[in-house]
Structure 1
Amino acid sequence: MSLKGNKGEWSEIYALLKVLADGKLYGADADLNKIQSLYYNILEVIRMEKDKPQYHYQRNDVDIVIVDEENSELLRRSIKEFEEQAGNLFGEIKNITGTGKNTIPVFDEFLEAIKITSLKAPSSTKSDITIQIHDIYTGAKPVLEFSIKSQLGSPSTLLNASKATNLVFKLKSPLSEAEIEKINELSSPGEKIKRIELNSELEFNHCANDIFSRNLRMIDSTMPKIIADLVYLANKNKSWSIEDLLANDLNLDEDEKELIEYKVKQLLVSASLGMMPSSKWNGYDEATGGYIVVKTTGDLVCYHLYNRNALKDFLFRNTKFENASQSRHQFGTIYKDEDGNQYFNLNLQIRFKK
């Protein structure tokens, strides 16, 4: 049966083929430029298929050898074939139109031969691919997990919206029922904020989800308020780029902006490598290797955790806040508690710009 997926999901298979074909994974600067002197030699890729054992895709100078958990050889294919198949798959992914799921039947036989029966390996973590590298600087051969982001499809999310990512603001002065009704009929949270603030003020009160609040405070004790203030400004000023928002919309001196920027970068890295809003987080990275980016050129570059500063800058420059569905995630409407206090929720979602 043909596998079916969107451009991002097919990109994970492309990354597997490409990293084995290239034999090296290059580091990048904050602007996705390959650093020629910074690379990691690929020893093998480890993949778990659903209801099947681990497969190890081992690379030598000539072949890719697939072995099972007992190190028994199952298949041997030339590196040249992996190079050709990676190039062909890249072309097919580029030709996919729309954002839906698509099959690429010409790859059915090859993928079945190399033991790939699903586009996404089963995982409960942030990682998408597991690679053993040879670190030429230390001589170590660690097994690392990487998250994959593709520029071939629609921009992916870094932190997904849910009811857990709601940020609760309290109206400092109550509004009349008639005014609340008019405001709730507006469509944009930003327009609602402006209307509320004609006769009241919004003050951040708490995160709707206690686990999310705890996870944010693991990063910094003031992070819930920092992120709430930024989401508020993004909506009010329609300034969604995180980098631009901090540069242009914060009414703070440069020292304070520098502190906020540092903390926001910590949040972005944490969200990219391990922290999920509704799951209690222990502060550790789950994607222990870092990030692999599939560029529009077909090249792969990575942000290894050894080069964490470049990863921070890349995420900071290339992400934005956005609003998901107000009705689905229950935000953007004035409501009351049992004591008559009035509240207004905003919601956090972070997406890559491209």
Structure 2
Amino acid sequence: MAFEATKRELGELYTFFRLLADGKVSLGTPQVRKDEAKCWPIAMVQREEHDGTRRYYIEQENIRIVSGTVEKTGTFTVADKEEQNIPREDFGGAAEIILELLKTTAGSDTIEVPEGLEGFLDAINIYDLEAKTEDRTDFSVAFWHAEAPLTGFNVRCRLSSMNPLLDGGRTANLKLEQSGIKFATPTVNKVNALPESPTEVTERMLMIERLGGVLKYSDVADRVFRCNLLMIDLHFPRMLAEMVRMMHLDGISRVSELTERIKEINPLKIKDELINKHGFYEFKMKQFLLALALGMRPAKIYNGADSAVEGILLVNAEGEVLCYHKSERRTFADFLYLNTRLEKGPVDKDKYGFLEKENGVYYFKLNVKIGLTKK
């Protein structure tokens, strides 16, 4: 009996199968195209399953599947299970079926998996369509040689919804202090009573402005997230707040376009030489995006150390898998800069977008959420 899977689950599975079938991956350019000059051979992929760790060794014709467990030391201990040998072309065929499903199924985020694909998944004992790991990697890859150090990756597929780079919920809120004319309680209630809509945050900000109020950056709501942002730059929270404000008021969401606008208004009041010759604002934003891609989380103390995630495997609209790795730092940073956008989180859930009183002062919170663009 066929079962349903989300497009995101199938996107991860497609990437996994494509790598096994091809035995290599092309590095991506900042413009999300293949770098024809750079292609890394893959010797083995390690993936977590419901019953332990699996290693998929890429051989000439077959994929050799070995089950086992990974010790705390990182050592892989082979389980007392028979190895499987599956033709590589079978993985290629399964990948093509998934790609066709992703390309042709519009609208719904869930897809009914055909029996042929379900049978293949059963044959190779894959039951977790999205690997469940503690270190936030989707799977790990050994390049060039099976005994090479493993490289952890996150998968993002443009043919499905994508997990955001930053989705901290209410932890990722920034506080703007309401100054100017002092609002009476009925005025505050009037602002907060504006009806729910996709533009309710914008409408409230504009209403505050019309009523003579001024929203000025004050602080980061969460202590840990504040410190994490300060690790990028002592003034970075203010820069980020201005970008989020601009996203709501001007309707610009791409990070690269917002950064260009930030350069024009120069909220940090820094010298032109620093802005134009040194590229201060772009540099700080790229630092931040790289930190997010490599493990920074709003609620977890960030000390500059990278996590187990070393890169992103991106499936583009044509189904090509492109590799972005921290060893190619400049390309990775440029890719993130050109292909990320600010997004709007749910207002009620993330507790932002309305006036609230703290210690006799009214604040208006904005939420930071950053995701990859679809094109």
TM over 0.5, shorter chain: yes
Q: Which amino acid in the other structure matches residue 233 of structure 1?
A: M
Residue 35 of structure 2: aligned partner: 35
Deviates more, 1:291-300 or 1:168-177: 168-177
Question: SS at 1:68's partner residue?
Answer: strand
Contact 2:172 2:222 in 1 (8 A): yes
Cα–Cα, structure 1 residues 6 and 329, in superposed 2: closer, same or farther, change >3 Å?
A: same
Alpha-carbon distance in 1 for matches of 2:347, 2:356: 14
Q: CA deviation at 1:254?
A: 6.8
Q: Does 1:349 align with 2:369?
A: yes
Q: Normalization by structure 1: what TM-score?
A: 0.92
Q: CA deviation at 1:182?
A: 2.5
Q: Does 1:76 align with 2:85?
A: yes
Residue 266 of structure 1: aligned partner: 287
Cα–Cα, structure 1 residues 290 and 231, in superposed 2: closer, same or farther, change >3 Å?
A: same
Residue 326 of structure 1: aligned partner: 347
Deviates more, 1:172-181 or 1:292-301: 172-181
Alpha-carbon distance in 2 for matches of 1:279, 1:68: 32
Q: CA deviation at 1:141?
A: 2.3
Residue 45 of structure 1: aligned partner: 45
Residue 141 of structure 2: aligned partner: 131
Residue 118 of structure 1: aligned partner: 128
Question: SS at 1:235's partner residue?
Answer: helix
Q: Which amino acid in the other structure matches residue 180 of structure 1?
A: V
1:93 equivalent among 95, 98, 102: 102
Cα–Cα, structure 1 residues 99 and 314, in superposed 2: closer, same or farther, change >3 Å?
A: farther
Residue 311 of structure 1: aligned partner: 332
Question: SS at 2:165's partner residue?
Answer: strand
1:171 equivalent among 159, 178, 200: 178
Q: CA deviation at 1:140?
A: 8.6
Contact 1:46 1:55 in 2 (8 A): yes
1:147 equivalent among 132, 148, 154: 154
Contact 1:243 1:316 in 2 (8 A): yes
Contact 1:126 1:273 in 2 (8 A): no
Question: SS at 1:289's partner residue?
Answer: strand
Alignment root-mean-square deviation, CA: 2.1
Q: Which amino acid in the other structure matches residue 10 of structure 2?
A: W
Residue 255 of structure 1: aligned partner: 274
Residue 20 of structure 2: aligned partner: 20
Percent of paired sites with the same residue? 28
Deviates more, 1:310-319 or 1:152-161: 152-161
Cα–Cα, structure 1 residues 140 and 55, in superposed 2: closer, same or farther, change >3 Å?
A: closer
1:302-322 CA distance string (max 9 Å, x none): 112111111111111111112
Residue 206 of structure 2: aligned partner: 194
Q: CA deviation at 1:331?
A: 0.8
Alpha-carbon distance in 2 for matches of 1:156, 1:88: 23
Question: SS at 1:256's partner residue?
Answer: helix
Q: Which amino acid in the other structure matches residue 204 of structure 1?
A: Y
Q: Which amino acid in the other structure matches residue 56 of structure 2?
A: Y
Residue 71 of structure 2: aligned partner: none
Residue 293 of structure 1: aligned partner: 314
1:168-192 CA distance string (max 9 Å, x none): 1111232122322222233522222
Contact 1:169 1:203 in 2 (8 A): yes
Contact 1:14 1:86 in 2 (8 A): yes
Alpha-carbon distance in 1 for matches of 2:338, 2:5: 28
Residue 277 of structure 1: aligned partner: 298
Cα–Cα, structure 1 residues 281 and 2, in superposed 2: closer, same or farther, change >3 Å?
A: farther
Unmatched 5+ residue regions in structure 2? 69-77, 267-271
Residue 73 of structure 2: aligned partner: none
Deviates more, 1:214-223 or 1:27-36: 214-223
Question: SS at 2:161's partner residue?
Answer: coil
Q: CA deviation at 1:35?
A: 1.1
Residue 64 of structure 1: aligned partner: 63
Deviates more, 1:27-36 or 1:209-218: 209-218
Q: CA deviation at 1:29?
A: 0.9
Q: Which amino acid in the other structure matches residue 243 of structure 1?
A: S
Residue 164 of structure 2: aligned partner: 157
Q: Normalization by structure 2: what TM-score?
A: 0.87
Name the count of aligned residue pairs.
Answer: 349
Q: Which amino acid in the other structure matches residue 144 of structure 1?
A: T
Contact 2:23 2:42 in 1 (8 A): yes
1:204 equivalent among 214, 217, 239: 217
Contact 2:255 2:337 in 1 (8 A): yes
Contact 2:168 2:297 in 1 (8 A): no
Contact 1:288 1:305 in 2 (8 A): no
Alpha-carbon distance in 2 for matches of 1:179, 1:299: 54
Question: SS at 2:83's partner residue?
Answer: strand
Alpha-carbon distance in 2 for matches of 1:145, 1:2: 31
